[in-house]
Structure 1
């Protein structure tokens, strides 16, 4: 049985940052455990290639979602393998807003305000665009690059966004702004995906004090006398036990971290007892407080421009693949929408709550896919708006379905359980229509594909939105930090209440959602947590 100072469970965005920072001191022996493989497939390094492996269980972990009336059946997938979701996501990079983190500090989470978190972002960023705001990091591990897309449609979109209250900004990640700018991606300057593994672990994987375990599934944390002592794993059909002389750190993600805590006897006491699990810490908030950004898109026919759909079909797809492998450029070097806008529907320009984006690209509608399954890419040129409501009030849960670690937990998203979120979906939908109707886009907007311009009744719109809205897979909150043991799981230093030597460090500890995609914030949370862990070691 090997013994380590720190055992990190999960090699995703947070776990990879922790592995780098904690192993920087050669006296710390660190284990990084990942259920999946090494994720060195060429369709992972190619940002635009992830759609070719979408759903492949070698790279994705599937979680069943509780069916809700009026909504289509859902199955959520998060990343599996080194880099976690950062290896298979859309690479969209946004840090959130100062008010997000200052709100945490204002509620008693000392050391988590924007000043601290901004410093953490700056430490690991490497962003070299001349338009960067003064607080950006340059020279860190994580290369970030802006969209390079140029076309008359892009210029028209920028003008339309500005007319609708989102003026052009040179750096869309600037703190406390309303505006629109080029989307930024975790793609390096060679055109390759900058996953957390590629940025933080691969360059230092030869450190003799860092052991990386792949294809290793953690079954539970071992706890003795109120303290975590290690983990029991399954690898190649054999049981593997790793001991922790210091701490065990859960970085398995918003679904798997609470699952593992519950399997280890930490959670709501009655629910655990019903599954035959001994209760070691009765923390009812484990798996509760699940929040996620609601996401949907609105597409229009695109007259007057060929769009980008054709670049991913037929002979052009092969040409673009060859271009990518030879030069690291072209449509496959970037994925996602080239323009990002941030705007407040609540009258607070320093804390936008709607994130919008657009591209001259369109997928088949939900109704079309239901009628005839197949490729989601349509050959007909289209223009799509997509976005998120960033501060949802609905809260869901992650619940064990059995005491067997191989059984996925049940996810209840509870989308629209708070009527406020339904209203915000309508606000976002109407914003899309306003932008589309702007005179700047007059030459590029055709028929609305779903629900259609003729659908104006609020009830009818909501009926279609119920089919269109989905989770942004930006989950937070299921092991939330806080001071109240009834409503939180971890304290302000990421330690699990009531259990020594056990922490959680990933998006699940965020008590409230952040105003942007969660990949970058997950890394910043880990950067800050690593500082706290090392401080506590010296204490």
Structure 2
């Protein structure tokens, strides 16, 4: 493969890279190389929806990053799992499918990402989705016919989850029938990227059909170390395939889809980023682009755990005989407790009537568990449940920077949590909303005790101290190569091209101008779906060639 030429080289076979590969190969005209650092996703616990807990800390599927000590979180080095496997993080995530709220995308436009409004992106969501749901009589039906299956699994969810909806109603919150497409305040059952009882990752939805095309080559277990250039035009990449270093060339473009952590890392390793930072590691700056790696945003959530007097999913998963029964049922029918992700109920809420739009997202799981410092989930053997809340739109921003010039070294992740009063107040609102929900009769009536934090902890300042001691990322990093109006404030233009460099784009969640209100997997795949269309349009109109010639 050394010296081979492909029209397009995509770095990263994750949520974005798989969707991008499908779009670019569909008409058969372009040769595409898709490079993934991890290995195969054909593993039992990847495909089984409840396997999220098994894969969460599996080093064979995961980069296993940790952020730097975070002053606002008592100096903790929070665990940051990122998928290192075909399908990327869509192969190890909790499968909750949420587009985001309309104002998220309209705000992108206000930050310079022209053409990314809600009205512009909504059709792309619809093109890629295939909803499996039920009509008013409970009969199955399909809506849209895209490749990505989004399933309503409410008929299989643990019976305890109905208590969450009842409690939400007692709090005065509306019920949302399709939380995946929520546009306003509401609580409902999460829809999941599950197809016939199996995870439907970006690899399953997009890459599987693309693999049947002769114009796509997928290389796994290969780490891209640098981008190659001719002047100010990207010409290919150097990669390490096991113990061999190779160079492959791109006839049209190199596209980074390595995620919000690794895409800025690769740009910096290649000499694109803050010049002084690059020089400090002995890297000759090719293009001084100061915003590369900056602007990092993420969702920070707090969970409260409760022991219950009514049965929950702990009664099944926490005990040997019921767990074996659930396993046998799943193997024979692909239904039941093992066929449903752990995130079952949640929604978007206004923390008070003065909020013009929802400002908090909640998760209500009929299972009590926690994570060890190494990131391994620990399951409570007694019946219990979890209530979790996060601020939808934090405005703190961190950064991703190189640790060294060695591609094998993990980058430095500075989350910079709770850096603004807006975010600190948001944390307090999260605590109040959890208390309000827990006090609703449908839940309060079945609470045996609050397990974490301890029941005696009721003072708001004590609870805020507990927040700092336990709050954690929910794995939604974005915005480290964000779109915008120019190189002074962003890394990419609205067509996802790196400012000042020809033949180079970034297509993944790092391109978000700001984090969306909810889970980021859906908008990442949407962004890649639109990006493929943009790339082919630019090639067809000759716009790309003119701009590459100018950049060179």
Settle same-fold status: TM greater than 0.5: yes
| Counterparts in 2 of 1:317 and 1:246: CA distance versus 1, 3 Å | same
Q: Which residue matches 1:196?
A: 202
Q: Which residue matches 2:181?
A: 174
- CA shift for structure 1 position 206: 2.0
- CA shift for structure 1 position 123: 0.3
Q: Which of 493, 496, 517 pairs up with 2:495?
A: 493
List aligned pairs for 1:165-244, cutoff 5 A: 165-188=172-195, 190-244=196-250
Q: Which residue matches 1:50?
A: 52
Unaligned runs of 5+ in 2: 137-141, 542-552
- CA shift for structure 1 position 146: 1.9
- The separation in 2 between residues aligned to 1:150 and 1:185, in whole angstroms, is 12
Residues 96-126 of structure 1: per-residue CA shift (max 9 Å, x gap): 0111111112333221111121000000100
Q: CA RMSD in A?
A: 2.0
List aligned pairs for 1:49-68, cutoff 5 A: 49-68=51-70
Q: Which of 497, 517, 520 pairs up with 2:519?
A: 517
1:360 paired with 2:362, answer: no
- The separation in 2 between residues aligned to 1:411 and 1:56, in whole angstroms, is 20
Q: Which of 327, 332, 338 pairs up with 2:344?
A: 338
Q: Would you say the 8 A contact 2:113–2:513 is kept in 1?
A: no
SS of 1:456's partner is coil
Q: Which of 63, 73, 79 pairs up with 2:77?
A: 73
Q: Which residue matches 1:451?
A: 453
Residues 426-465 of structure 1: per-residue CA shift (max 9 Å, x gap): 1111111111111232321232122234323222111111
Q: Would you say the 8 A contact 1:476–1:509 is kept in 2?
A: yes
- The separation in 2 between residues aligned to 1:131 and 1:418, in whole angstroms, is 45
- The separation in 2 between residues aligned to 1:3 and 1:287, in whole angstroms, is 29
- CA shift for structure 1 position 153: 3.1
Residues 360-409 of structure 1: per-residue CA shift (max 9 Å, x gap): 21015x7xx67x99861111111211232110111111010111100010
Q: Would you say the 8 A contact 1:176–1:350 is kept in 2?
A: no
List aligned pairs for 1:36-185, cutoff 5 A: 36-69=38-71, 70-130=74-134, 138-148=144-154, 149=156, 153-185=160-192
Q: Would you say the 8 A contact 1:128–1:138 is kept in 2?
A: no
Q: Would you say the 8 A contact 1:229–1:244 is kept in 2?
A: yes
Q: Which of 302, 308, 313 pairs up with 2:313?
A: 308
- The separation in 1 between residues aligned to 2:408 and 2:93, in whole angstroms, is 24
- CA shift for structure 1 position 74: 2.0
Q: Which residue matches 2:22?
A: 20
| Counterparts in 2 of 1:373 and 1:523: CA distance versus 1, 3 Å | closer
- CA shift for structure 1 position 349: 7.1
Q: TM-score when scaled to structure 2?
A: 0.92
- CA shift for structure 1 position 348: 6.9
| Counterparts in 2 of 1:41 and 1:426: CA distance versus 1, 3 Å | same
Q: Which of 266, 275, 289 pairs up with 1:269?
A: 275
Q: Would you say the 8 A contact 2:57–2:376 is kept in 1?
A: no
| Counterparts in 2 of 1:137 and 1:114: CA distance versus 1, 3 Å | farther
Q: Which residue matches 2:402?
A: 400
Q: Would you say the 8 A contact 2:158–2:337 is kept in 1?
A: no
- The separation in 1 between residues aligned to 2:80 and 2:375, in whole angstroms, is 19
Residues 294-336 of structure 1: per-residue CA shift (max 9 Å, x gap): 1121111201x12111311323222222222221111111122
- CA shift for structure 1 position 418: 1.4
Q: Which residue matches 2:545?
A: none
SS of 1:517's partner is coil
Unaligned runs of 5+ in 1: none
- CA shift for structure 1 position 151: 5.7
- CA shift for structure 1 position 150: 5.1
- The separation in 1 between residues aligned to 2:357 and 2:470, in whole angstroms, is 26
Q: Which residue matches 1:8?
A: 10
| Counterparts in 2 of 1:375 and 1:442: CA distance versus 1, 3 Å | closer
| 260-269 or 423-432, larger mean C-alpha shift | 423-432
Q: Which residue matches 1:433?
A: 435
- The separation in 1 between residues aligned to 2:496 and 2:377, in whole angstroms, is 43
- The separation in 1 between residues aligned to 2:474 and 2:121, in whole angstroms, is 23
Q: Would you say the 8 A contact 1:401–1:409 is kept in 2?
A: yes
Q: TM-score when scaled to structure 1?
A: 0.94
Aligned residues: 530
Q: Would you say the 8 A contact 2:134–2:152 is kept in 1?
A: no
Residues 451-506 of structure 1: per-residue CA shift (max 9 Å, x gap): 23432322211111112211111011100001131220000000001100000000
Q: Would you say the 8 A contact 2:41–2:85 is kept in 1?
A: yes
Residues 41-84 of structure 1: per-residue CA shift (max 9 Å, x gap): 11101011232233222210122311124143323111111100
- The separation in 2 between residues aligned to 1:73 and 1:265, in whole angstroms, is 28
- The separation in 2 between residues aligned to 1:340 and 1:178, in whole angstroms, is 11
| 58-67 or 372-381, larger mean C-alpha shift | 372-381
Q: Would you say the 8 A contact 2:79–2:375 is kept in 1?
A: no
SS of 1:32's partner is strand
SS of 1:397's partner is strand
